């Protein structure tokens, strides 16, 4: 009996210590905004700093994969300190909406195309990224592939590289095919493409580009900005690799290239709705858009914002943007489809 009492005191002391040190204030502050961002800090924090300088509103940021953040906001429920949610994929922001995690945005003063605004006004796009192909300059001629569906043809057997089906960019890509072709036909197309894989998916988009340069395959499916990043890399090795491949945009004669967006929404239980709107409007301003897009070599959603010279040089690209609003709906179908056809 002596012993347990001794420890009683010890335990109480310990609990107090823990309370003091580990409970950092989790209370929302009116002059701050809490952003849960699936986009890397480096690609957005400078803008937040500028926002802070201009408006005096401090922006706190937590980064993680969009999926994890969604889970977190969901678990946090009404007590969630989240004000803003940023993702790098249309499917994910749509999921957040479907889970009831977002509230209405007043888009009255937001000057962007309707395709990049949620039909229920729960989210707004911030930038565009195209998922397309790069190909080996040596082994593939320009314009040999004009449609995504071409990749399923027999002559491409063992020549295609792409990253895992776990990746949300691929999932949205497949979702867009389901929307455009219907699930049955889409499954056939994807199946054919998967059978043409040169190897089991591994690594991310940059690894696919490297694989093409190393002659492990001739075509890779990537987001366009990865290619540009390698072209501009500080590492000479990477630049050399990028020079051996070229990029092509597909389906220009029908629906347009597959486009995805990074998007922003306001958390349902945000206590700072007014400030949240201020931030969104700030991010949609011409200057912000230019910085935001350029820093990652993406396309801005703002109609008049300029892009990098390289992107300019590629001219106007036809985009399959009418399906953006639906990509989220078909995410689960896409994942299951990919599982069924063995896209690992």
Q: How far is the CB of 74 from other proteins (least distance, A)?
A: 9
- Bridge partners (DSSP) of residue 335 are none
Q: Residue 200 contacts by C-beta under 8 Å, 6 or more apart in sequence?
A: 344
Q: How far is the CB of 134 from other proteins (least distance, A)?
A: 14
Helix (H, G, I), strand (E, B) or coil at 61: strand
- Bridge partners (DSSP) of residue 275 are none
Residue 111 main-chain phi, psi, to 5 deg: -100, 70
CB neighbours of residue 114 within 10 Å: 11
Q: How far is the CB of 316 from other proteins (least distance, A)?
A: 29
Closest C-alpha among 69, 332, 342 to residue 196? 342
Q: How far is the CB of 19 from other proteins (least distance, A)?
A: 8
Of 113 and 215, CB closest to other proteins:
215
Q: How far is the CB of 79 from other proteins (least distance, A)?
A: 5
Q: How far is the CB of 253 from other proteins (least distance, A)?
A: 32
Of 126 and 162, CB closest to other proteins:
162
Planar angle of CA 255, 258, 263, nearest 5 degrees: 125
Provide the binding-site residues for other proteins, judged by CB under 8 A.
2-4, 6-7, 10-11, 14, 18, 21-28, 34, 40, 60-65, 67-68, 70-72, 75-81, 95, 99, 164, 166, 168, 171, 199-207, 210, 214, 234-235, 237, 332, 335-336, 339-340, 344
Of 117 and 221, CB closest to other proteins:
221
Q: How far is the CB of 320 from other proteins (least distance, A)?
A: 23
Of 153 and 214, CB closest to other proteins:
214
Q: How far is the CB of 152 from other proteins (least distance, A)?
A: 20
Helix (H, G, I), strand (E, B) or coil at 316: coil
Contact 213, 136 (CB under 8 A): yes
Closest C-alpha among 169, 296, 274, 292 to residue 220? 169
Contact 87, 263 (CB under 8 A): yes
Of 229 and 281, CB closest to other proteins:
229
Q: Cα separation of 220 and 214, whole Å?
A: 12
Q: How far is the CB of 205 from other proteins (least distance, A)?
A: 7
Of 14 and 113, CB closest to other proteins:
14
Q: Cα separation of 274 and 111, whole Å?
A: 18
Of 79 and 313, CB closest to other proteins:
79
Of 53 and 75, CB closest to other proteins:
75
Question: What Rg do the C-alpha atoms of the chain give, in angstroms?
Answer: 23
Planar angle of CA 54, 60, 61, nearest 5 degrees: 115
Residue 337 main-chain phi, psi, to 5 deg: -60, -45
Q: Cα separation of 310 and 261, whole Å?
A: 20
Of 65 and 114, CB closest to other proteins:
65
């Amino acid at each position: 009996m002596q012993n347990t009492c001794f420890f009683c005191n010890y335990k109480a002391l310990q609990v107090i210590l823990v309370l003091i040190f580990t409970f950092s204030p989790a209370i929302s502050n009116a002059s701050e905004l809490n952003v849960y961002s699936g986009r890397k800090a480096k690609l957005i924090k400078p803008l937040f700093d500028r926002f802070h300088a201009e408006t005096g509103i401090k922006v706190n940021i937590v980064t993680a994969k969009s999926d994890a953040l969604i889970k977190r906001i969901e678990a946090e429920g009404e007590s969630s300190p989240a004000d803003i949610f940023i993702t790098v994929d249309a499917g994910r922001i749509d999921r957040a909406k479907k889970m009831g995690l977002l509230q209405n945005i007043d888009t009255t003063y937001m000057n962007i195309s309707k395709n990049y605004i949620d039909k229920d006004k729960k989210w707004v796009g911030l930038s565009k990224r195209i998922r397309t192909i790069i190909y080996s300059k040596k082994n593939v001629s320009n314009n040999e592939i004009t449609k995504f569906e071409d990749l399923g043809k027999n002559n491409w057997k063992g020549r295609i590289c792409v990253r895992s089906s776990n990746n949300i960019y691929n999932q949205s890509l497949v979702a867009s095919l389901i929307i455009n072709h219907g699930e049955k036909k889409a499954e056939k197309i994807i199946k054919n493409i998967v059978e043409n894989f040169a190897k089991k998916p591994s690594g991310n988009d940059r690894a696919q580009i490297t694989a093409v340069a190393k002659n492990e395959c001739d075509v890779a499916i990537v987001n366009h900005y990865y290619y540009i990043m390698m072209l501009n890399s500080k590492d000479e090795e990477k630049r050399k690799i990028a020079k051996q491949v070229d990029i092509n945009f597909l389906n220009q004669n029908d629906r347009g290239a597959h486009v995805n967006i990074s998007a922003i929404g306001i958390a349902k239980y945000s206590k700072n709705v007014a400030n949240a709107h201020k931030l969104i409007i700030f991010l949609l301003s011409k200057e912000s858009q230019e910085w935001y897009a350029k820093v990652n070599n993406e396309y801005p959603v703002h109609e008049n914002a300029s892009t990098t010279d390289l992107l300019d040089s590629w001219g106007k690209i036809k985009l399959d943007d009418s399906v953006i609003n639906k990509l989220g709906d078909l995410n689960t179908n896409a994942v299951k489809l990919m599982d069924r056809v063995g896209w690992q």
